Amino acid sequence: MTDPEAGTLSGRHIVLGLSGGVACYKAAEFARALIKSGATVQVVMTEAACAFITPVTMQALSARPVVTSQWDARQPNNMAHIELSREADAIVVAPASADFIAQLAQGQAGELLALLCLARPAERVPLLVAPAMNREMWAHPATQRNVARIVADGARLLGPASGDQACGEIGDGRMLEAEELRDELIAHFQPKCLAGRRVLITAGPTFEAIDPVRGITNLSSGKMGFAIARAAAEAGAVVTLVAGPVHLPTPRGVARIDVRSAEQMLAAVLPLARSHDIFVATAAVADWRPAATSEHKIKKDGTGATPALAFVENPDILATVAHLPVAERPWCVGFAAESHDVVRHARDKRLRKGIPLIVANHGPSTFGRDDNALVLVDADGERELPRSDKLRLARALVAEIAARAPRAARTVA
């Protein structure tokens, strides 16, 4: 399977700073993840960081000599703090200890890493900081004041997470995992074409119960909808994801609501739709549900008789949202997963639902897979998005939606 993040950071040069902390082991994994995504990585370590992981390890992973001193004479002008900061597309400090955050807050520059953060051209070289410390240190008022200060000064905070800590305690202060840090950096560089807009997305199948153990569902994995949620959040949107029964991690920065049936999905979507600017109905909602659900498991009786099942039509979630009063209606995007005559059925569905854009695909060729091919169908015709991994397609689709959807009065500041 092709890595969807391969090449995402091509052409980006990242200065990766390590301050002291046991989380330095994650920095090694993070450096590797950045390079696999196409970035070049220059590692800068504090004296304390060298007590936790060796510069030799970081040099082997980054394929570049590690810099530890502001007096490093390998720079032609002997100004490592200037040269390293000017070459960078971003400076990421991971791990960032409480002491290092305090240095940033106070503008101190006793070591190279703090010095180059202070000397960076802030208008074009962002500073991203991944805290890593004991939960009590993180919660201390001095740390919280320092964090607020560096954020006010322009740094972007990555985390921290909550969980088991090296000291044996549990709580806030863990550094994000390597892949989470990589994804945060990738998101930072994505165009913010949906900044200030609220996006509501449905994803996955629905499950319509026949009895307590059986039901009607479909093969939708939810991967496309979750990819769109991540791409929309990367693009700066405030994203709410209403998910059917799937086993997928929630994209960072996305608010998730889990539902099971079509009726539950409608109940979740309808009140939210009125406060969102864009609605992307990716979910493969069951068209019908059993008219009645058995209280107990329906058992075979040995006679060969089959149970008689009656069905009723499920609510049409997309059409319901699309026909809200104009002042309450988000800009709607539908999905059409068809088994044949994909474009024709998509055209018909767009007109029937009364929406500006339908995204069509061949359902049997994509359910459960990590790649897809899409056709955008609107009033002007069709446009194909060729087969690719679902995250790249999601980013392309989000750009299309941003270009088409008008800015509504409900945009957020």
Can you tell me the distance from the alpha carbon of 370 to that of 219, in angstroms, rounded to the nearest whole number? 14
- Two structure tokens written together for 368: 């459960």
3-state secondary structure at position 176:
coil
Cβ–Cβ < 8 Å for 252, 176: no
- Two structure tokens written together for 324: 């809200």
Residue 167 is a catalytic residue: yes
Q: Residue 210, exposed/middle/buried by CB under 10 A (0-12, 13-18, 19+)? A: middle
Which phi-psi region, left, alpha or beta, contains residue 37 (left: φ > 0; alpha: ψ -120 to 50)?
A: alpha
Catalytic residue, candidates 24, 117, 167, 332: 167
Residue 42, phi then psi, degrees to nearest 5: -110, 120
Can you tell me the distance from the alpha carbon of 186 to that of 395, in angstroms, rounded to the nearest whole number? 12
- Other Cβ atoms less than 10 A from the Cβ of 48: the count is 16
Q: Which residue's entry shows tokens 């994994």?
A: 29
Distances (CA, A) of 86 to 62, 76, 83: 19, 14, 5
Q: Which residue's entry shows tokens 């695909």?
A: 361
Output DSSP code: residue 384.
E
Q: Is the peptide bond before 95 cis (omega within 30 degrees of 0)?
A: yes
How far does Cα 289 stand from its chain's mean position? Answer: 32
Can you tell me the distance from the alpha carbon of 362 to that of 373, in angstroms, rounded to the nearest whole number? 8
Residues 6+ apart with CB under 8 A from 335: 224, 280, 281, 282, 283, 284, 358, 359, 360, 361
Output the DSSP codes for 343-392: HHHHHHHHHHHT-SEEEEEEGGGTTT-SEEEEEEEETTEEEEEEEEEHHH
Catalytic positions are: 167
